[in-house]
Structure formats: C-alpha cells, structure tokens
C-alpha cells in the first residue's frame, strides 16, 4: 500500500469518526428531549434540572463543534478536502 493510500485511509477514518460522534451527540440530545415528554421522566428531570440543562447545552455545543470539523474549509479532514484529495490521488 502506498503512502498516498495510507494518507487517504487515515483521512477517511478521521472523517468517519467525526461524523459518527456528531451523529451520536445529535441523537442523544433528540432522544433526551423525546423521553422528557413523558410526565414520569419529566418529574425526574425536574428534580435534577441544572444537570439536564447543562447536559442539553453541552450536547448542542458538541454537535456544533462536530459540524465545524466536518465542514470547516481550513481543516484537512473536512468533507470537501477529503473528496479533493481522493480526486487528485486516485
């Protein structure tokens, strides 16, 4: 396997990891909000409201940071640069 192939695989796995982590954080946030609609769960959440408020905000911040890593033009691991690298070297 050439060095170019190794570099591409490394970039691809980094991109894959970033997408997976961002997706997991987004779905965790959405699932938490969905389960909070149940009155029994909502009572438990209200007992620890500050924790759940902070957790929700941190999940949204993690999703935003993930989107920046995925779509930021200055990162060599973003979607556009990954496609350009593949076009140049395949």
pTM strictly above 0.75: yes
User: What burial class does residue 16 get, using C-beta atoms within 10 Å of its C-beta: 0-12 exposed, 13-18 middle, 19+ buried?
Assistant: exposed
Least confident of 11-25, 45-59, 69-83: 69-83
Task: Provide the 3-class DSSP secondary structure of residue 65.
Answer: helix
Percent of the chain that is helix, strand, coil (3-state, to 5): 85, 0, 15
Residue 32 · residue 55 · CB < 8 Å: yes
The pLDDT value recorded for residue 21 is 95
Residue 31 · residue 24 · CB < 8 Å: no
């Amino acid at each position: 396997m050439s060095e170019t192939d190794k570099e591409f695989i490394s970039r691809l796995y980094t991109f894959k990891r970033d997408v997976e982590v961002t997706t997991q954080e987004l779905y965790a946030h959405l699932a938490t909000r969905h389960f909070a609609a149940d009155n029994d769960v909502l009572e438990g959440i209200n007992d620890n409201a500050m924790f759940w408020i902070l957790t929700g905000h941190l999940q949204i911040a993690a999703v935003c940071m993930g989107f920046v890593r995925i779509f930021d033009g200055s990162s060599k691991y973003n979607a556009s640069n990954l496609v350009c690298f593949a076009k140049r070297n395949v």
